[in-house]
Chains A and B, each alone.
Chain A
Amino acid sequence: MGWTKKVLRVDLSKGTCKSEPLNMKWAQEYLGQRGLATKYFVEEVDPKVDPLSPANKMIMATGPLTGTMASTGGRYSVITKGALTGAIACSNSGGYFGAEMKFAGWDMVIFEGKSPKPVYLAIEDDKAELRDAAHLWGKTVWQTEEIIKKTHQDPQTRVCSIGRAGENGVMYACIVNDLHRAAGRSGVGTVMGSKNLKAVAIRGTKGAGGIKDGKAFMKATVAAKKVLAENAVTSQGLPTYGTQVLMNVINEMGALPTRNHRDVQFEDARKISGEAMHEKRPTDGKAQLVTNAACFGCTIACGRISKMDEGHFSVVNKPEYWGASGGLEYEAAWALGAANGVGDLEALQYANLICNEDGYDPITFGATVGAAMELYDLGILTKEQIGMDAPFGSAEALVKLSEMTAKGEGFGKELGLGSARLCAKYGKPELSMGVKKQEFPAYDSRGIQGMGLAYATSNRGACHLRGYTVASEVLGIPVKTDPLVTEGKADLVKAFQDATSVFDSAGVCVFTTFAWTLADLQPQLDAACEGGWSMEKLALVGERIWNMERVFNNAAGFTAKDDDLPPRLKTEAAKTGPAKGKVNGIDVMRPEYYKARGWDEKGVPSKDTLKRLGL
């Protein structure tokens, strides 16, 4: 439906909800979702704001293709200053919540201030009001969604909420919608919790409309779906094995971070892989994987829906975890598994369920457990401090710690800090495996060099979804590049970052880029949105968004020193695999990247660059 051209502004301090027109000049310059909401954010918020203060704002935003018939057009993003990182945060989620926001007639919802008591926002088309959430505070995500749907007497109400992690100040709390889809990274749920905002419930009945050229849009979306249907990755690879198929690939390549990045290959990788999820368990004769699943409007359907082994020690006598539920996806399986040396697939799915149920990021959580296990291994943390033995590989420790973290019980409170704060507290800041206080995802940059640069320069801290050069360096999409060299990676990273900025601002899933290029997205946007969306305009918008985020981070206090990797990745060579003997070449790539970006040697965009981009 293109833009609805309406913004809902919610003042949590005053308890008011007001409608205002969308700034269409900005829409032409920043498209929607990530780009447009970030523009609103940087215009309204002091970069030095404390993320957990009422002065921080939080925006939930859709893109112009959200809610339309464009494939994967169900995305929404949460933009704020991240609790975990102190950097610009933009967490993107699928499911059905984003489309419902659009059906209710809103491009975005801006939250400001802090409610004096727990509330949730209820939206029914044009009507929006804050309601008391005292009865929801202390409830899990799953309980919250169930209670709200019963209260509204409408099972089609879509809900996003925080769990106990967001309430209790876990620094990497998520906002979870549709039970197991999440705006997952950087602590956007922590910010939501700090505002005493428990949930947002939306029912939209307006349907789709407002497409600039309906006939052209139909033609463009059908053509783009055909591209997805004819591409072996998006039509067969992702639906069949999901993201988890990467576990064995990345392990074979010697780029699977293992035991807090001490190793780059995990001996039990196969046991926690997509292939393993398909196999019948010897214990009950059933496979963990039940089916694949799709988000709103998606013709790929990469999601995993699984059932646990009811006899597994983590869920014995816990029937609430026996049903079909989301997971495992690759990033979670890696973080909860290889990062800690845990090769028990059922334990990983249990910890993943707890992350979904209580709303916290399994990547940061798993990586933080990995850091704690290394501290334990070094004798810096003791059994008494943690409350249990916690050696690498302990499924029992992983399970118990997952139960303790959201509730802030015992050592779980310290795990809730994230690895950067935890390791600093115990005098070993170098053992935190991340950038800008956010933990790495599942690719070791000694074996995939470009990802080191992508991590170091990601505007939201270490992240694979800001510039996924794995597509090129590992999978050959769009062209194969050598993962073991630094040459050419500056331009590659920049290209991925800018293109991803556009996809994240359009309302579609970044997984379409395994088959689509901007040339497939452009006709859909041009047909849906007024203003003439050419390839050149989109390319400029992508680069503009990236630089806008950078300018905000620089003003927040980040410098070139923050575009760096932990010493382990620069000094401790990979021990095995194709990258054996290699460290990451970030110090070579960084200056090349700054030059490609038109930034000075301190990582500051030049006046010419800002002028060219209209910033």
Chain B
Amino acid sequence: MKVTLKLYATLSDHLPTQARKTNAVELDLPAGTSPAQVIETWSLPIKLCHLVLVDGVFVPPAERATRALAEGEVLAIWPPIAGG
């Protein structure tokens, strides 16, 4: 299944160079892949995966290993950030 992975702020360093202009990369994943598995595959520091959204909806830490991604969804991840 096709899923879009978006990494922002300092996590964008983990993207291929050409993908940093958009903060996004297209992934082809086995059905049922979870956000936690993507985080592990991409060797993203767990402590920096603070804000995890799937199609804009927050996925709590306890659900990141069980929430199955679906075709066409967007997984977006930020380190601890704030603003205002």
Contact = CB atoms under 8 A, between A and B. Distances in A.
A142 interface: no
A290 B57 CA distance: 33
Given A275-B23, A578-B56, A237 B84 contact: no
24 contacts: A231-B80, A232-B47, A236-B10, A236-B80, A237-B79, A238-B82, A241-B10, A242-B83, A243-B82, A245-B8, A245-B9, A245-B83, A246-B82, A246-B83, A246-B84, A248-B76, A249-B78, A249-B81, A253-B56, A270-B23, A275-B12, A279-B21, A475-B82, A476-B58
B8 A475 contact: no
Contacts of A234: 82
A166 interface: no
A240 B10 CA distance: 8
A238 B81 CA distance: 6
B77 to A, nearest CB: 10
A270 B83 CA distance: 16
Contacts of A274: 9
Interface in A486-542: 510-511, 514
A476 B9 contact: no
Contacts of B50: 232, 476
Given A241-B10, A245-B78, A477-B82, 6 more contacts: A232-B80, A240-B9, A243-B83, A248-B23, A252-B74, A331-B84
A243 B78 CA distance: 14
Contacts of B22: 270
Interface stretch (A183-191, A338-346, A426-434, A465-473): A465-473
B81 A241 contact: yes
Contact of A480 (B8, B10, B60): B60
B76 to A, nearest CB: 5
In this complex, the interface size class of chain B, counting residues with CB under 8 Å from chain A, is 20 to 34
A578 B8 CA distance: 19
Contacts of B84: 243, 246, 330-331, 464-465, 468, 470, 510-511
A450 interface: no
B55 interface: yes
Interface centre among B12, B60, B80 (most CB of A within 10 A): B80
Nearest to A465: B84
B53 interface: yes
B56 A252 contact: yes
A476 B80 CA distance: 10
B51 interface: yes
Interface in B6-24: 6, 8-10, 12, 20-23
Given A241-B9, A275-B23, A476-B51, A330 B83 contact: yes
Contacts of B10: 236, 240-241
Contacts of A471: 82
Interface in B39-84: 47-48, 50-51, 53, 55-58, 60, 74, 76, 78-84
A477 B83 CA distance: 12
Given A245-B9, A270-B23, A275-B23, A237 B53 contact: no
Given A279-B21, A476-B51, A236 B79 contact: yes
A249 B8 contact: yes
A482 B58 CA distance: 8
B76 A252 contact: yes
Nearest to B24: A270
Contact of A237 (B47, B55, B60, B80): B80
Contacts of A445: none
Contacts of B76: 248, 252
A470 to B, nearest CB: 7
Interface string A258-299: 000000000000100011000100000000000000000000
Given A252-B56, A275-B12, A232 B83 contact: no
Contacts of B81: 233, 237-238, 241, 245-246, 249, 475
B53 A253 contact: yes
A246 B82 CA distance: 7
In the A-B complex, the 3 residue pairs with the smallest Cβ-Cβ separation, listed nearest first, are A243-B83, A232-B80, A246-B83
A54 to B, nearest CB: 35
Interface in A427-482: 464-465, 468, 470-471, 474-477, 480, 482
A567 interface: no
A557 interface: no
A511 B48 CA distance: 20
Interface in A198-252: 231-234, 236-238, 240-246, 248-249, 252
Contacts of B56: 252-254, 577-578
A449 B22 CA distance: 29
Contacts of A477: 82
Contact of B8 (A238, A248, A253, A577): A248
A91 to B, nearest CB: 15
B58 A232 contact: no
Contact of A244 (B55, B57, B83): B83
A516 to B, nearest CB: 12
Contacts of A245: 8-9, 78, 81-83
B44 to A, nearest CB: 15
A275 B83 contact: no
A475 B51 contact: yes
Contacts of A480: 58, 60
A247 to B, nearest CB: 9
A79 to B, nearest CB: 21
Contact of B9 (A237, A482, A510): A237
Nearest to B48: A232
B80 A578 contact: no
A611 to B, nearest CB: 35
Contacts of A470: 84
A578 B82 contact: no
A12 B21 CA distance: 55
A371 to B, nearest CB: 23
Contacts of B51: 249, 474-476
Contacts of A242: 83
B53 to A, nearest CB: 6
Interface centre among B47, B48, B76, B81 (most CB of A within 10 A): B81
A417 to B, nearest CB: 27
A233 B9 contact: no
Nearest to A232: B80
